[in-house]
Amino acid sequence: MRSLFHDKKLFDSAIQLACGSKAASYERLEFLGDRVLGLVVAEMLYTSYPKEKEGSLAKRFVALTCEKTLAEVAYLWRLNKLVKTTDNELRNNDSILSDVCEAVLGALYLDQGLDAVKNLMLPVWKPLMDSNLQAPQDPKSACQEWAQQRFKCLPIYKTVEQMGTEHEPVFKVQVQVNKLTAFGVGHNKKEAEKEAARNLLEQYHD
């Protein structure tokens, strides 16, 4: 992966996690990479599904840019082996890896422009897009619909623990539907809630 870059320091910054009180180098690149990722995926969907409505495109977009998908790509690119950290547990943290994946995209954009990012992304993201013939649904929305249909209530989310460091926080969230509960972990509360909702559906859905 590093060999793809003209400016190797950009790639090194994209994979540098926090060290002690020093902030992670990848955070600004992650901010940029998130926007680059969104543009490339949105264009890919707009072109691939010319007759699909905005709502369905949005669901596909969420699935192709979510933490789980980005973590899968990070493992495919072996970023878990390349990240610079003194905490080996972070190498297998999906939230961290998804952020690093975005940072790498941001770094490549700065290094070589949007076409280079597309050339890297499309061979990976197009098969992911093609594998879902039906527009997927956000886990929290699916959990809410299921809870209303089955129990006539809404899911209740509660943060039960905050772990990690100030620069690398990890949240554990509980979701409860009637008497059923499940937990999710994420780099932020939103992703932790999504994982909790997904876990609840996987455990209890008919």
Q: Which residues are designated catalytic?
A: 34, 102
Question: In terms of C-beta density within 10 A (0-12 exposed, 13-18 middle, 19 or more buried), how is residue 26 classed?
Answer: buried
Please, where are the H alpha helices in the chain? 8-14, 26-48, 54-65, 67-76, 79-82, 94-112, 114-130, 139-151, 189-204
Alpha carbons 104 and 34: distance in angstroms, whole number: 10
Alpha carbons 93 and 170: distance in angstroms, whole number: 9
Give ∠ CA 69-74-79 in degrees, rounded to 5.
170
Give ∠ CA 67-71-76 in degrees, rounded to 5.
150
Residue 51, phi then psi, degrees to nearest 5 = -105, 0
DSSP labels, 59-105: HHHHHHHSHHHHHHHHHHTTHHHH-B-S-GGGGG-HHHHHHHHHHHH
In the structure encoding, which two tokens stand for residue 35, read together?
Answer: 């926007």
